[in-house]
Chains A and B, each alone.
Chain A
């Protein structure tokens, strides 16, 4: 069956304005959006800019908007008529590739490592399993930026609010029962309290991490209002 893919194109080195190009592709039920793009890249247009590496939801590189909704290309089933555009709220580097450097730079302020005072006493170390559970879920995030793209607070106020993805990275350490760092100062500075808990991030999270619930839990734990 013939499919039509409308793909966002923008090369800031050449183009004044972004535009969409429409490609025909051979559609098969069950194929993913990544399959569509790979087909276009290998058979029609190798100038198409997109990033992916693991093909199965681990690398977080292939976040885009598919028919207006945030998704990972490797995880999203394609349909015959499809529009693919880059994520919102993040600088487009080329076509569907968004800038990760800015985010990485901001992450450095979050002290995303275990800060502990003493070495483990027992082998294995005794761990509070309720805390472990929270640690585990926050650790599932692959930083695909789908949540950043849909977040209204980040969209309006990116300088004062670091966004859901980064807070989830912080949550791993906050919920880690071994960690001793005062993380309240860090998250307050990055605008945790600005989150309105609208739940939009949770609706698009490909890893089902539910960032808004985790942020709620962080606020509760740290007594941030």
Chain B
């Protein structure tokens, strides 16, 4: 066991975490990042092919405005967004877009080099999103990591955080484990920023990077911080279906594609004749499954993604990374169509935070996908990168301010005994009853089949029972390889606990919400019910139990027509 001390500790090394660390380092405090993977090799940001939404006079198209970006976002989120947070993201996004460039990034420009090229995508009224090739997220990471090096931010990589320590009011530190040596580590820090991303890997098909397993949600929940909107999980409409390791990875960009069913019909004409493929992601995902359900799916159970109409050389030039993948799996996108199906992409729900991205516990903040509120019931494309940068910046600054005011507290080494024992128990349990690899596969399939794009009371009840059963099994976890050095199974077992807890929250909330809204679609309740359900479902751990409650929505700025707010 060893101990690390700092002023601001960021958990997670993706875009939100790196941004928070960069911002905090401006305030003369000792900043460290602890990350389960290595920076630039973990977290979803490096995979983000899209763009950053942000409106500023200097590049906006005629007619576009911040107000319109705000409205698009609220409409996309089916009015369940926390409007104050949305306003902050929309307002600050242009600033961070420019700040990224001032510290090293470059966004795509016209031939003269003096005007941004902008992308539009589902739900946006105008092209308003800056990008670089199909690796905008990687450019963000590359830029931020450069700054972190310059500023001597300490990196503790390949360490998984298992528990947040606080004294009831104030955060004190965390306990972690080195994923390669299983050594337990204590971090003492004045402020802690959770930036662990979502939990895509609880679904069989996901675009997410392998290490995104909902760790931050459970950390927060078990520290007593409430979560909300967990039932809202976004499915990106077009993920690869083959080969197995590529299953779920983003298969293309909707603004360059047409979707066709097995009869070669452009079926989106039926579901959303105006916006077609650029409709919101929930609608396109459901349309695809509807086509498959009605027998018009492709051999692998998806639909065709057609890019053959694009001019020769276009795909290779605009999306070089994707183009390369197509070639590797033997598809020539200029001549052939790709089979695609929806894939779990993003979690709208998460930790409840205020306008500084602070949680209820003093000194504990959160940034990026782990937070709830900005995206409501469904996220607009290109708003995720805007959110991670804006929230990272705000949380980073606030974290530094808190650290300046506070004294660091000592953590008794005995605190880490619980984790030490737990790990040795996993290593030494030989009952052979519950293997973490098999358990995870069961959970992923269960969630995909029952708590995915389409949900019903029946499927959700079934999922609840099975998750409870899996949770019992997970307590008896037994691994087949019991050496401490580079033991992937132990880490999978620890991650499974997080995944199961979050799967339970999602399923419970989805069962409770007897309506359809945004990304949450109940086959048995296909319509939105604004009179009952314009509210959040929250989870909070109290006396060893997770309690479900409701919370009102911030509708101060943009009101939904036809709803009686006095009720």
Contact = CB atoms under 8 A, between A and B. Distances in A.
A175 to B, nearest CB: 11
A69 interface: no
Interface string A196-216: 000000000001100000000
Interface stretch (B25-33, B77-85, B119-127, B130-138): B130-138
Contacts of B143: 114
A123 B42 contact: no
A125 B325 contact: no
Contacts of A176: 104, 106
Contact of A58 (B112, B321, B329, B488): B321
Counting chain B CB atoms within 10 Å of each CB, the highest count among A35, A56, A75 belongs to A56
A122 interface: yes
A60 B113 contact: no
Contacts of A46: 437, 479-481, 488-489
B41 A53 contact: yes
Nearest to B111: A129
Interface in A1-52: 11, 13-14, 28, 30-32, 34-35, 38, 41-42, 45-47, 49, 52
Contacts of B116: 124
A127 B135 CA distance: 19
B98 A94 contact: no
Contact of A56 (B59, B147, B249): B249
Counting chain A CB atoms within 10 Å of each CB, the highest count among B41, B441, B485 belongs to B41
B413 interface: no
Contact of A11 (B41, B139, B485): B485
Contact of A61 (B41, B103, B106, B483): B41
Interface in B85-127: 98, 101-104, 106-107, 109, 111-116
Given A30-B330, A119-B102, A129 B113 contact: yes
Contact of A35 (B244, B441, B479): B244
Nearest to B492: A46
B47 A58 contact: yes
Given A30-B329, A55-B210, A77-B328, A93 B486 contact: yes
Interface in A109-135: 111-114, 116, 119-120, 122-129, 132, 135
Interface in B220-254: 242-246, 249
Nearest to A77: B328
A208 B245 contact: no
Given A35-B245, A46-B489, A53-B210, A125 B101 contact: yes
Counting chain B CB atoms within 10 Å of each CB, the highest count among A13, A46, A127 belongs to A46
A136 B133 contact: yes
B37 A55 contact: no
Given A55-B245, A58-B135, A112 B486 contact: no
B149 interface: yes
Interface in B304-349: 320-321, 324-325, 328-330
A111 B150 CA distance: 7
Nearest to B146: A113
B149 A113 contact: yes
Interface residues of A, number: 63
A180 interface: no
A127 B209 contact: no
A61 B246 CA distance: 15
A54 B485 contact: no
B408 interface: no
Interface string A153-181: 00000000000000000001000100000
B166 interface: no
Interface in B338-374: none
Contact of B149 (A35, A56, A108, A140): A108
A124 B481 contact: no
A176 to B, nearest CB: 7
Q: How many B residues touch the partner, as a band?
A: 35 or more
Contacts of A59: 40-42, 46, 209
B561 interface: no
Contacts of B58: 123-124
Contact of B486 (A56, A75, A77, A94): A94
A188 interface: no
B266 interface: no
A14 to B, nearest CB: 8
A93 B181 CA distance: 12
A116 B102 CA distance: 9
A187 interface: no
Interface string B462-479: 000000000000000001
A56 B329 contact: no
Contacts of A53: 37, 41-42, 209-211
Interface in B163-208: 180
Contacts of B324: 57, 75, 207-208
Interface of B: 37-38, 40-42, 46-47, 56, 58-59, 98, 101-104, 106-107, 109, 111-116, 132-133, 135, 138-139, 142-143, 145-147, 149-150, 180, 209-211, 242-246, 249, 320-321, 324-325, 328-330, 437, 441, 479-481, 483, 485-486, 488-489
Instruction: Give the 9 A-B residue pairs with the shortest CB-CB distance, closest first.
Output: A113-B146, A114-B104, A47-B481, A123-B58, A127-B113, A59-B41, A34-B245, A129-B113, A113-B150
15 contacts: A45-B481, A53-B42, A55-B209, A58-B47, A58-B138, A74-B246, A75-B324, A93-B180, A94-B486, A124-B98, A124-B107, A124-B116, A135-B106, A139-B139, A142-B40
Given A124-B58, A127-B109, 9 more contacts: A46-B488, A46-B489, A54-B41, A55-B209, A74-B246, A123-B56, A124-B114, A127-B106, A142-B40
